[in-house]
Structure 1
Amino acid sequence: MITSSEGFLGFLIATMAIIFYLEKKYSESKFFKIIPSMVVLMLVVALAATFKVFDGTAEGVVAAQNVMYSTFLPMMLTMFMLTCDIRHIFRLGPRMILSFLSTTVSVLVGFTVAYLIMKNYLPENAWGSIAAVTGSFVGETINMQAVASTFGVEGVDYVYAVMMDTVGITIVLSVAMMLIPRTMAWNKFFKASTDGIDEIAKRIEEANKDLDKSAPNMLDYCILFAVGLIGTAVINFVIPYIPEVSFLSATGWRVVLSSLLGIALGLTPAHRLKGAQEVAKVFLYLSLCITMSYSDLSQCTEAPQFVVLVLIMLAVMYIVWLLLCKLFRFDCFTASVGFMANFGGTSSAPAIAAAHNPNWISFGILLGFFGDLVGTGVAIAFGNFLKYLSMM
């Protein structure tokens, strides 16, 4: 049984390396096309925790787990957020942003209705799991992890969030792909057109043409780690002096402050630093592993209730979303990309955009970043709303 910090972190990183190696080697296999490597990684760590591969109560393991909240999380958020200059978001135009926000509203309404229906059949702290997965459904995994850390969602509660996320993403991505060959029928029914999208796409490409797309070197990584570590040190220094509030813990403040720091750095030449997303993803996967290390899958006795909850949520969400699409006359491209920018962020929105038109991929990238920027804040606010509902 592993009891030391070095052994515990070594086990997690080795597990990451093995799974991502297998995904790369067998990238064409049906297994990894159906089950993402990230889900496999979290499941393996949860199984290791369940079968006591490491001692979750050992001093060394606990110390390593605590490092995630104090160091890995703020570094991850700072590095990820600085990659986007929010000024570029406004080049998308009001309809693309309105499409994104329409989906966000649909998600929040869907989860509110589903929670009120299922409330009496769920565990008392189910609101935290729902808040965490809302972070993913408005942004992506990095937002889910940030919200989960804010509300202390870990172990079995986090497993429920991951399960809802997997079910939800699978369904909405399938629907989004089904809509692509029906674009003309959609536009005719909603009386919508794609006039002006090509012009906006050209403006976005023009703004990004001077970005250096070469591979990062050692200097880039040194600067990134310096920025991440110094920023984290400053944040951890400031937190004890911040007045306590009921809706944000110390970890919550780390999430908020590191996100704001990253956004602020994105307005400076720092957003041109290469390798930031790749480094942030390493910390993201490591943070996910540590969160899952609290799990005991034998205690996941209420999984069916959460599956029912997310299915109700999706049904309500689609009704609200279609009504809003009809109200604003969104064309199929605008509606689909705005939708998937919520549910998949920078990983799936560009793919859906490219499927409609390869020249429009920049819309998916920028809208995905917009989800990353607002997803954490929206989900934290919604989590506090659900917490209030849980006490009624």
Structure 2
Amino acid sequence: MIQIFLNINQYSHILFFPDSFTVLNYLSNSIIFIDNDFLYNNFSISFNSFISNISYLLFFFILEPEWEAIFYSCSYYGRYQNYNSCIILDFDKNFSGNYNSNVCFLKFINMLSILQSKSIILKGYSFNLDKYIIYYFYKINRELYFYFPQKQYFWRTLNLRSNYLKIFSFLILNIFLNSFDFCVALFFLKEIRRLFCFYVRFAFLFLFISNNFLLSNSIIHKMQRLLLFDYKVFTFNSLFISNLYKGFTFLGFNFSISESFDNFKLMPSKYSILYFLKFYKDLVYSNMIFMKFYSCKGLREVIKSILIILILNLRALVFNWMFYYKSFGTFSDSKKILNFLFFKTNSIILNFWFRRIKSKNNLFYLKKKYFPQSNRYLFQNKIKSNKWIFCTKYRFTEKIEKVLFIPKLSWLLFF
């Protein structure tokens, strides 16, 4: 039904370690042949996403160990592990936040052009390993064939350029950023330490804080020349702040100086917390509507499946939100925020999921069933216990039942 043919004849001259630009061209020229009857009977199936998902799984589960071995533990684009840690230089303790400060926001643009550039990758310390990983991914896609014999075929070509670029851009962008970090550390680390009290990078977004606008601008121009691009690579914006003690917001974080002016505090912004709670409430409310609809018809098995879907969705929301802030150490001194969020999320479940239950006996039964006090939960190979963990049982096999639960927010700090 489906036969994939990769046009590799014109790439027979490729050496054992092809460069990134050649592989990108190779992936963009892939051709898919689809049987007409299969396409007619299954018109809702997206073959682009089908192939993309296969490549995505191969990319992360096969390449991820070798990919992670050569990268710094920094914030790179679409990273599978350690993707939220960042580069933070030592905070200058002599810097006073009471004076006027210049906050510089820097962002990479023309990312596709950066993908096709070899200049910064050639300067990387891990050049041979980068080449090996690129070739490994190329080899996997070359061997990705699906043969379904049929008598009559209607040949149709689909363009997979955008889908393959989305997948393959993870690798090339991270190689680029990893090499860029190496070059910046090699050539400009002393100047950055001398001029800036604080420097952090979120993927391809940079943040500098200094007291001297002209000197910070000169460093940015040097970084531009380092890339050897003829066109503009960075977008540059600056913000003047009179008092860093009050702080400012950037990408969902609130940056501020501690009371003793000895370190920087990175906390979730108020807007980010409110948006998280709003999205949490919407998920509970939308699932509650389906639960009430099927409860009127007496379909208990459907209600159980809706409850499982609800917990899975809430787990995904909590994990993604917490992992974004976890690696920066923002919750080290913020137990109040964790306790507040844990209390609010449980109150949302109780108020929205069980708000129409007026009988005390029924409410006591539901608390005992969905918030059991004696349960112990296996989370990341460790036994955890808490009184207010929202959970439900589901049948894993015919004889085994398992518990699906929403972990406490503080448990994720030690993930």
Give the TM-score taking structure 1 as reference length.
Answer: 0.22
Larger C-alpha radius of gyration, 1 or 2?
Answer: 2
Higher helix share: 1
- Asked which structure has the greater RCO (Cα within 8 Å, sep 6+), the reply is 1
Higher strand share: 2
